[in-house]
């Protein structure tokens, strides 16, 4: 797959950045908790449930970022008739789905 185009700037305003930071901090704490469960040799089923919760939280961050990208960056380019924006959107969605 071709590398994603490098952005020329961020579409994030301070409120968006703050919300994403909160989500990422929660995610980071949850991962530390799972690591602690491993260290304490907690039942595998419980660890798998928590790993699944971490994955879901990670997906929510990606969805939030994609929404922001669509609402601001892509909308502006599409309104101006920039076809490159649609190709960039296609690339980023493909990349996210392959992760």
Task: Tell me whether residue 44 is in a domain.
Answer: yes
Task: Tell me whether residue 91 is in a domain.
Answer: yes
Task: Kindly report the CATH number assigned to the domain that includes residue 70.
Answer: 1.20.58.1000
Task: Tell me whether residue 1 is in a domain.
Answer: no
Q: When comparing pLDDT for 7 and 43, which is higher?
A: 43
pTM over 0.75: no
For the stretch 13-60, pLDDT in tens is 888 889 899 999 999 999 999 999 999 999 999 999 999 999 999 988
- Total structural domains within the chain: 1
Q: 73: exposed, middle or buried (C-beta count within 10 Å: 0-12, 13-18, 19+)?
A: buried
Task: Tell me whether residue 64 is in a domain.
Answer: yes
Domain of 69 in residue numbering reads as 27-98
Contact 31, 58 (CB under 8 A): no
For the stretch 62-90, pLDDT in tens is 888 888 888 877 777 777 777 777 788 78
Backbone torsions φ then ψ of 12, nearest 5 degrees: -90, 130
| pLDDT for the residue numbered 70 | 80
């Amino acid at each position: 797959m071709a590398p994603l185009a490098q952005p020329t700037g961020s579409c994030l305003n301070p409120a968006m950045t703050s919300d994403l930071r909160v989500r990422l901090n929660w995610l980071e704490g949850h991962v530390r908790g799972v690591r602690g469960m491993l260290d304490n040799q907690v039942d595998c089923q419980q660890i798998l449930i928590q790993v699944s919760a971490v994955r879901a939280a990670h997906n929510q961050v990606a969805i939030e970022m994609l929404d922001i990208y669509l609402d601001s960056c892509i909308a502006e380019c599409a309104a101006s008739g920039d076809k490159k924006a649609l190709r960039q959107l296609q690339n980023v969605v493909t990349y996210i789905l392959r992760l």
